[in-house]
Structure 1
């Protein structure tokens, strides 16, 4: 029987002790004396959020299929637990074995969002692993990062031994095999890192240095040894149908954010929105085979006891077998009270028909993401959604019994004007008017429209990576304009408006496009007490501002500064397949207000189609 790392007395004093005890359904237990590699997989946020992440479930399943490897899980302890661990000198431990993370071979951290960066330092600190990679010895685990934020790893370069660029199914076996050889040798930690750097997709920051120009921009990135390639190439799973997928995902003891079976139906997106990083990073689109998905759905529902299954992708409507898959799920599981969730659908007649089949009579809310208030600005961002389509979709939804609509927009897009901002209110009003055009007998109560605006953050490897951000004051002024205009509408009582925190957005903008100089700010902010920055109750903007000032790092340099087309970016050493020339063309087309057709309509020559010897499935 496992001995818990925490006493009953401690567990009784903290909120949600189930976050820390492990022992869940489908958790993998192994004899640690019979494995060669112990890998701690970390999501740097609380248990409920980390347990909802599909990527970790995939790698956890894949690693544990190796007889020589035991992969366990660890998450960020919440503030109450953090306090106890520091006071009582309890080292951070893995859920399965309850063993200290510092005794493992690897600590793998998935980095999904810039606002979790101080949590990464918390994990290292509580694990009693030196924060800076340069201070670690052969006695410490290798710290490796993965996930979307690693496509600009530079703000975190000081804290990681390695980064894995791309999809983990491709090269992790090679890395673990290499580690096994190194572990029984007399070679140094540096020797392992040099060999690891030769594996495609592995980036070792310590093997590179960065030189800067007088204006503070990057001159070049310099490889310090022959083993470190000038370009690190994204790793891509070409056949997602035969790649590893968990049929026995771990089931949490407490309700997770996504408390359901997740069925990934495809990777990538054909749409090409110019602000969307995921749409560029995960090109080309790759679909999973329908029969594979049917078998996976059966197995996962059977092995978990979940009562809901969610179809996951960036744009579910574009999956070519969606109708057949949904029909199968309804026929097989509808009578067993299994709910079917369909996020990321485009609002058209087909999608509404599908949703009408899977949603109950009460009809939950529908979500539209126009992203911009005017057609002009939707063309700038290449949203590919016309007002006619939006209003027709809303009308069909209202006639089908829906009465609640959520609208998502972004404020601060390049070229945005006051008319574009006010257009958000006008579009919400037109949707409300469309509801009252529906015959009374078909209406389902009062119309409710919830308008939410986030603020635009330029991200690496998007056509908008050159864009200037707004200041905090400019963002808030734009939200004020929208709020005021909504209050002037005839149907204002039917429209509710929410907006994002502007100071969080500014910080996200610095971390998204930051370079190695930003690392000292992250460390300083953590030392001052910044933690759980993505949580409203956790974010301490004043401490971050103090950290920037004390480190002499200018926020405006990373946010509002104008960038020339030939500027060297911190992430330029990474090859994601989508060419810089394509991103430049799209940046120029944005200013020309020209729409680029989606990949299924016409190949735009982004480079992803032939990346890695693959073939874009759309052509």
Structure 2
């Protein structure tokens, strides 16, 4: 957002105040002026509410460290809408972390929502922390400074809960980096007392085993409710320790707390589960070693979406997604067989148009945003999307509103939608065909046609858009070279349309990522394609994309291999991850810093074959490392869908069609359809329902 200018009356400019400073409620409210050097925001003038900042007594001069780094705004805190509560008056304190740098972590809408929800409770406080960049890490280690929170600069090890969001597998070494900088033992078994509890959540938590030795607890599923329940248990247990007169709790109290924690639905405590392996290296079983631990941990979900976040923290520097974001719906029922998110975020929940419009109005007033992203897994499936976009332009067009949409399903993009987008600034349209040929798209249950794609491209180029982005994958199950060759053919046809309407200004950016099988998806049993399979396909893409105005990008084979290994891995990978970290692995999601040779050394020293984890197909009878975690969708449904791949058999979207008995038959939106099918004995889908039995193989084969 550019530089933020604070009026001279502001008692807490960045960086936060020196030791011992406390702002009183008698001081006047400061005025904050935010200029807007780019189109994302306009200048706003707002009043900051009085804030009491009770800063931690620093062991080192943090301000001096900030003079040594390129971007000190990553570490200063004090942004608009950040919350700095009085540390001494709040009984439960949580540090919330995204395991990457500030610019990326601040763009995570889920963490922003959770930060707001926790801080709405007067007896909880939540502060933020991100991974220091290399210059700051060096400065901190040289000065002996521990990892600290942005809001009050308290050391992370002084919090009651240290929560880390696991979004991508390639951030796992960064989790260890943060524990190391915080001075918290890497391994859960080496931590003496109950606090801080090291917690993980997010999509990566649904296969917790590769990180099981490092985290005390994992939160499965959506965190808005279960995190509050967990923090309430922390408060109750701290009060119990005080009642008993225990000032220095140890291992016994730690175990007692974790036993209580595992009783919360959706909470997984890894140390209460034993793992055994077969002679061939596959998993024999994961079984509870305490009666209090549940055999199956089912993910949590909220029945209704939380209110739109209208007071997000507004950063002092530009972030990856520097705009207002509104989650218009959660979940997706399309059933693309490669898509983990489409499974783990079921069932579908939508906001009303009125909620979205009011959210935009509040974000404009509170933050000065004029660019907004309407976020969901499949935004173009949202009910009445063109009408909503028109309403937003009609109501806020005079304030310069711009609407952006994430990647869209090609077959749902209509002239109506493109025309509704017209009043705003025209950057680009993003489509996700995923596969080159009709046959392969049918196999992955994304049965759009060539005409669907070309019609969508025509709609965009003919209405003034000059850039189209296309997302594909290579290495999908059943894929052949002929399937891949269809990608450049399609791109050529799309570029012809672009030149017809936009001339030399037409551009197409094509991204071809290597397919990574993910837990809880229909392709969780599938192998990743080997380099020798991918090489001719990548060359064919390179040769076929030598087209003026077309830019081709593809993912690195080694990075994709590591992602697959960590996604599909078991508890033995904990040792590998720790070895790689001690060898210097970090920021593995950044191509400039990823070093596959460090991981190869770590695997060799542990006597494990990395290819065994990624390049083999798993049997239906094999116990999977995440088999004791339930996403709510049954393994029987997933296996049935996996088999349909080779038949190129489509499973229609249950949103508009019949119930597919995926496991959410008791959901209020699904139950009527399911009961109707059961009542109709001759319904053609009943045979398929019989195949989707609730538990094929979860913890151990039958």
Which TM bucket (shorter chain)?
over 0.9
Residues in 2 aligned to 1:245 and 1:496: alpha-carbon distance in whole angstroms = 37
The answer for the alignment partner of 1:451 in structure 2 is 510
Q: Among 601, 615, 619, which residue is 2:669 paired with?
A: 615
Once the two structures are TM-superposed, the CA of residue 556 in structure 1 deviates from its matched residue by 1.4
The correspondence of residues 243-322 of structure 1 with structure 2, limited to 5 A, is 243-322=306-385
Residues in 1 aligned to 2:582 and 2:395: alpha-carbon distance in whole angstroms = 53
> Are the aligned partners of 1:143 and 1:161 in contact in 2 as well (CA < 8 Å)?
yes
The correspondence of residues 509-588 of structure 1 with structure 2, limited to 5 A, is 509-588=564-643
Residues in 2 aligned to 1:515 and 1:264: alpha-carbon distance in whole angstroms = 33
Once the two structures are TM-superposed, the CA of residue 15 in structure 1 deviates from its matched residue by 1.5
> Are the aligned partners of 1:286 and 1:617 in contact in 2 as well (CA < 8 Å)?
no
String of CA shifts for 1:303-328, please: whole Å, max 9, x gaps: 11122111100111111132332122
The answer for the alignment partner of 2:296 in structure 1 is 231
User: Residues 609 and 7 from structure 1, CA distance in 2 versus in 1: closer, same or farther, beyond 3 angstroms?
Assistant: closer
String of CA shifts for 1:200-246, please: whole Å, max 9, x gaps: 00000010011111111111111011110000011111112xx2542
Once the two structures are TM-superposed, the CA of residue 274 in structure 1 deviates from its matched residue by 0.4
Instruction: State which drifts further: 214-223 or 302-311.
Output: 302-311
State the structure with bigger RCO (CA 8 A, min sep 6), 1 or 2: 1
Match status 1:472 vs 2:531 = yes
The answer for the alignment partner of 1:461 in structure 2 is 520
Residues in 2 aligned to 1:10 and 1:483: alpha-carbon distance in whole angstroms = 46
> Are the aligned partners of 1:380 and 1:594 in contact in 2 as well (CA < 8 Å)?
yes
String of CA shifts for 1:459-517, please: whole Å, max 9, x gaps: 01111111111223433332112212334xxxx22433221111100000100000000
Residues in 2 aligned to 1:604 and 1:617: alpha-carbon distance in whole angstroms = 9
- SS in structure 2 opposite 1:171? helix
Residues in 1 aligned to 2:74 and 2:287: alpha-carbon distance in whole angstroms = 43
The answer for the alignment partner of 2:485 in structure 1 is 422
The correspondence of residues 318-337 of structure 1 with structure 2, limited to 5 A, is 318-337=381-400
> Are the aligned partners of 1:403 and 1:445 in contact in 2 as well (CA < 8 Å)?
no
Residues in 2 aligned to 1:9 and 1:477: alpha-carbon distance in whole angstroms = 53
Q: Among 400, 413, 424, which residue is 2:463 paired with?
A: 400
> Are the aligned partners of 1:61 and 1:245 in contact in 2 as well (CA < 8 Å)?
no
- SS in structure 2 opposite 1:505? helix
**RMSD in angstroms over aligned alpha carbons?**
1.9
The answer for the alignment partner of 1:218 in structure 2 is 283
Q: Among 374, 385, 389, which residue is 2:452 paired with?
A: 389
Residues in 1 aligned to 2:188 and 2:144: alpha-carbon distance in whole angstroms = 22
- SS in structure 1 opposite 2:223? coil
Residues in 1 aligned to 2:412 and 2:619: alpha-carbon distance in whole angstroms = 43
Residues in 1 aligned to 2:476 and 2:369: alpha-carbon distance in whole angstroms = 40
The answer for the alignment partner of 1:162 in structure 2 is 217
* Unaligned stretches of 5+ residues in structure 1: none
**So what's the TM-score if we normalise by structure 1?**
0.95
> Are the aligned partners of 1:432 and 1:447 in contact in 2 as well (CA < 8 Å)?
yes
User: Residues 244 and 601 from structure 1, CA distance in 2 versus in 1: closer, same or farther, beyond 3 angstroms?
Assistant: closer
The answer for the alignment partner of 2:31 in structure 1 is none
String of CA shifts for 1:226-282, please: whole Å, max 9, x gaps: 110000011111112xx2542211011100111111110000012111001001111
The answer for the alignment partner of 2:650 in structure 1 is 595
Residues in 2 aligned to 1:396 and 1:303: alpha-carbon distance in whole angstroms = 35
Match status 1:90 vs 2:149 = no
> Are the aligned partners of 1:317 and 1:351 in contact in 2 as well (CA < 8 Å)?
no
Q: Among 235, 238, 262, which residue is 1:197 paired with?
A: 262
The structure with the larger Rg is 2
Residues in 1 aligned to 2:359 and 2:353: alpha-carbon distance in whole angstroms = 10
Match status 1:18 vs 2:33 = no
Match status 1:29 vs 2:88 = no
> Are the aligned partners of 2:654 and 2:660 in contact in 1 as well (CA < 8 Å)?
no
> Are the aligned partners of 1:411 and 1:421 in contact in 2 as well (CA < 8 Å)?
yes
> Are the aligned partners of 2:422 and 2:463 in contact in 1 as well (CA < 8 Å)?
no
Once the two structures are TM-superposed, the CA of residue 191 in structure 1 deviates from its matched residue by 0.7
**So what's the TM-score if we normalise by structure 2?**
0.84
User: Residues 361 and 94 from structure 1, CA distance in 2 versus in 1: closer, same or farther, beyond 3 angstroms?
Assistant: closer
The correspondence of residues 356-395 of structure 1 with structure 2, limited to 5 A, is 356-359=419-422, 363-395=426-458
User: Residues 48 and 327 from structure 1, CA distance in 2 versus in 1: closer, same or farther, beyond 3 angstroms?
Assistant: same
Q: Among 165, 175, 197, which residue is 1:110 paired with?
A: 165
> Are the aligned partners of 1:412 and 1:455 in contact in 2 as well (CA < 8 Å)?
yes
> Are the aligned partners of 2:194 and 2:253 in contact in 1 as well (CA < 8 Å)?
no
The answer for the alignment partner of 2:101 in structure 1 is 46
User: Residues 108 and 351 from structure 1, CA distance in 2 versus in 1: closer, same or farther, beyond 3 angstroms?
Assistant: farther
Residues in 1 aligned to 2:163 and 2:307: alpha-carbon distance in whole angstroms = 18
Residues in 2 aligned to 1:349 and 1:208: alpha-carbon distance in whole angstroms = 45
Once the two structures are TM-superposed, the CA of residue 604 in structure 1 deviates from its matched residue by 4.6
String of CA shifts for 1:297-356, please: whole Å, max 9, x gaps: 221221111221111001111111323321221122211112211223334575443344
Residues in 1 aligned to 2:63 and 2:198: alpha-carbon distance in whole angstroms = 31
Once the two structures are TM-superposed, the CA of residue 195 in structure 1 deviates from its matched residue by 0.8
Match status 1:3 vs 2:18 = yes
Match status 1:185 vs 2:240 = yes
> Are the aligned partners of 1:158 and 1:519 in contact in 2 as well (CA < 8 Å)?
yes
| Number of residue equivalences | 608
> Are the aligned partners of 2:407 and 2:431 in contact in 1 as well (CA < 8 Å)?
no
> Are the aligned partners of 1:366 and 1:406 in contact in 2 as well (CA < 8 Å)?
yes
User: Residues 56 and 362 from structure 1, CA distance in 2 versus in 1: closer, same or farther, beyond 3 angstroms?
Assistant: closer
Residues in 2 aligned to 1:3 and 1:480: alpha-carbon distance in whole angstroms = 58
Instruction: State which drifts further: 392-401 or 80-89.
Output: 392-401
Once the two structures are TM-superposed, the CA of residue 404 in structure 1 deviates from its matched residue by 2.4
Residues in 1 aligned to 2:460 and 2:324: alpha-carbon distance in whole angstroms = 27
User: Residues 274 and 350 from structure 1, CA distance in 2 versus in 1: closer, same or farther, beyond 3 angstroms?
Assistant: closer
